[in-house]
Amino acid sequence: MRTWIIIIITVLLSLPIVLWAQEEAQKTLSLEELVALARQSSVDALIAQTARETGHWQYRSYKADLHPQLALQGTLPDFSRTFSPITQPDGTIQFQPIVNNNSALNLQLTQNVGLTGGQFFINSQLQRFDDLERDFTRYNGSPVGVGYKQSLFSFNPYRWARQIEPLRYEASRRKFLSDLEAVSLQATAAYFQLLLAQIDYEMAQQNVANGVKALEIAQLRFDMGKISQNDLLQMKYILLNARRALADARQDMQTSFLQLKTFAGVEGSSLRVQEPQHVPQLFVEEEIALKEAQKNKETWLNFQVRLLEARRDMNKAKSEGGLNADLFASVGLVNRADHWNEVYHNPVDQQMITVGFTIPVVDWGRNKARVMTAEANQKLTEYTVKQDQQVFEQQIRTQVALIESLRTQVEVSKEAAELASERYGIAGESFAMGRISITELNIAQTEKDSARRNYLQALRGYWETYYRLRLLTLYDFERQEPITASETDSFD
């Protein structure tokens, strides 16, 4: 009888447990497959792509401002019907009817000068005046005119844009890569959340099956007088707890699946994830990680942009508070005629030059306050950038140290899980032979489940740290190369 009991319990404890009845119909994804899917289909990935396109077109807009601009301006028509007071020779006033129409066209080519902040222009103008009350028409125009406008002492936005905008554009390109790596990190967290829920469900199923068989054995041993009724009741209680845990595990698994499905855009009503078969063996040096982060990460470009913007604001505050002068100069040809085509026959020279200036006399310290505010903001920006750099570097150092610790934890916890599983098998045999109590069997089962979860938690921590390092440095330490996304750089 004892031999028969040992054979039964050994076979029962070694039976594989099938998770779901529809397992063959379910979609199964590895971690790499899920990450790739999330980077393509998740809402966060689509948002990242849209932000990348926005940055691209903003830069295109800046570049377009550096090229010549051709515009046609016009007024067609400018009609007026009114009465105007006219003083007569005898001093009286008569209100004469005035009905006229003014029309104008101006074709102008402009070119901003980034070095000085001025603007060159070439234009051609034509004006028409119609006196509808007296029925006559006159034309006035400038066949060609060339001029230059320049603010002599004011703030030059083009100078600063030339330094800031390329950095901002490159930062937007790198930000897109960082956003995708953030998606990978979120997908990894969702993946392991579902994997742990699956494992909990599997273990809960196994525990229920083992509990049923163990209760049968306990009942048999009770009938033989080998155990007490208290031991039999304890086994029933354990089985009830196992069934409750199975129901909880099923609910957690369904919730984790829905969360993953919502995030990654997975189709279907069910999904299984595979336990990672490959664990990247990373040996990360702290100095290399910091160096690659400085080369690849948009955070460092954003630091430079913030410092440049603070210097720009300081320059603007100083420029706008003192002497301001505007220069306007133009030369060209002008003419007037009764017919439009006569405007272009034998035009005469035209020259214009204007210099306007503004000198603050009394401003009650307003300019000084603006300058001092800008100076304080510049210092504050420098301090906060320096602090943010230190925080960012510390994040990298922390992850580098953590990846070393987690690699050891994965190895140790995997071995512990294997030992706990083997020990539980031996405990089952010992319980069947009456060598250990139900409590000791339950302890072995709990330790087996805990060791299994500890291994998966260590594995989760390792993979999340791996993707977090990629996010912080935009560097693939497994392949030892910077992270790129050439397929996204298809803008012209």
**How far apart (Å, rounded) are the C-alpha atoms in residues 340 and 128?**
8
| Confidence class for position 5, pLDDT limits 50, 70, 90 | very low
Q: Taking residues 169-186, what's their average pLDDT?
A: 94
Q: What's the confidence (pLDDT) of residue 427?
A: 84
For CA atoms 43, 45, 46, 51, give the dihedral sign: positive
- Burial class of residue 18 (count of CB atoms within 10 Å of its CB; 0-12, 13-18, 19+): exposed
Q: Percentage of the chain surpassing pLDDT 90? A: 43
**3-state DSSP assignment of residue 6:** helix
Q: What's the confidence (pLDDT) of residue 12?
A: 44
Give the pair of three-digit tokens for residue 404: 């070393």
Res 6 pLDDT > 60 = no
Q: What's the confidence (pLDDT) of residue 486?
A: 54
Specify the higher pLDDT residue, 441 or 475.
475
List all residues 6 or more positions away from 432 whose beta carbon is below 8 Å from its beta carbon. Answer: 5, 6, 8, 9, 10, 217
Helix axes 286-296, 298-319, angle to 10 degrees: 50
Q: Taking residues 6-21, what's their average pLDDT?
A: 42
Helix axes 157-223, 2-13, angle to 10 degrees: 160
pTM beyond 0.85: the answer is no
Q: Percentage of the chain surpassing pLDDT 70? A: 93
Cβ neighbours around 165 below 10 Å, total: 18
Distance of CA 353 to the CA centre of its chain: 51
Q: What's the confidence (pLDDT) of residue 70?
A: 93
Give the pair of three-digit tokens for residue 255: 């919730």
Q: What's the confidence (pLDDT) of residue 320?
A: 81
Q: Look up tokens 């099956």; give the residue.
A: 209
Cβ neighbours around 7 below 10 Å, total: 11
Q: What's the confidence (pLDDT) of residue 15?
A: 44
Where along the chain do its domains lie?
2-60+161-308+378-488, 74-113+118-155+323-359
| Confidence class for position 24, pLDDT limits 50, 70, 90 | very low
| Confidence class for position 375, pLDDT limits 50, 70, 90 | very high
| Confidence class for position 488, pLDDT limits 50, 70, 90 | very low
- Burial class of residue 11 (count of CB atoms within 10 Å of its CB; 0-12, 13-18, 19+): exposed
Q: What's the confidence (pLDDT) of residue 429?
A: 82
| Confidence class for position 191, pLDDT limits 50, 70, 90 | very high
54-97 pLDDT per residue, tens: 999 999 999 998 899 999 999 888 888 888 888 888 888 888 88
Edge-to-edge strand ranges of the sheet holding 93-112:
69-87, 93-112, 119-131, 136-151, 324-337, 348-358
Beta carbons of 10 and 429 less than 8 angstroms apart: yes
Q: Taking residues 363-373, what's their average pLDDT?
A: 86
Q: Is the peptide bond before 143 cis (omega within 30 degrees of 0)?
A: no
Q: What's the confidence (pLDDT) of residue 491?
A: 45
Q: What's the confidence (pLDDT) of residue 490?
A: 44
Q: Taking residues 342-351, what's their average pLDDT?
A: 84
Q: Per CATH, which fold does 2-60+161-308+378-488 belong to? A: Outer membrane efflux proteins (OEP) (1.20.1600)
| Confidence class for position 447, pLDDT limits 50, 70, 90 | confident
**How far apart (Å, rounded) are the C-alpha atoms in residues 392 and 109?**
48
**How far apart (Å, rounded) are the C-alpha atoms in residues 298 and 176?**
9
Res 26 pLDDT > 70 = no
Helix (H) or strand (E) holding 288: helix 286-296
Give the pair of three-digit tokens for residue 238: 């354990």
Q: Taking residues 334-362, what's their average pLDDT?
A: 82
Q: What's the confidence (pLDDT) of residue 472?
A: 95
Q: What's the confidence (pLDDT) of residue 53?
A: 93
Res 8 pLDDT > 80 = no
Q: Which of 18-27, 131-140, 262-271 has the lowest average pLDDT? A: 18-27
- Burial class of residue 74 (count of CB atoms within 10 Å of its CB; 0-12, 13-18, 19+): exposed
Q: Best-predicted range by mean pLDDT among 22-26, 36-40, 350-354?
A: 36-40
| Confidence class for position 21, pLDDT limits 50, 70, 90 | very low
Q: What's the confidence (pLDDT) of residue 347?
A: 86
Q: What's the confidence (pLDDT) of residue 18?
A: 37
DSSP 26: S
C-beta contacts of 69-74 below 8 A and 24+ residues apart:
69/109, 69/110, 69/111, 70/107, 70/108, 70/109, 71/107, 71/108, 71/110, 72/105, 72/106, 72/107, 72/108, 73/105, 73/106, 73/107, 73/108, 74/103, 74/104, 74/105, 74/106
Beta carbons of 256 and 191 less than 8 angstroms apart: no
Mean pLDDT rounded to a whole number for the chain:
85
- Burial class of residue 285 (count of CB atoms within 10 Å of its CB; 0-12, 13-18, 19+): exposed
**How far apart (Å, rounded) are the C-alpha atoms in residues 38 and 314?**
44
298-332 pLDDT per residue, tens: 999 999 999 999 999 999 888 887 788 888 899 98
CA-nearest of 447, 403, 395, 405 to 425 is 447
Helix (H) or strand (E) holding 74: strand 69-87
Q: Taking residues 437-466, what's their average pLDDT?
A: 86
Res 104 pLDDT > 50 = yes
| Confidence class for position 438, pLDDT limits 50, 70, 90 | low
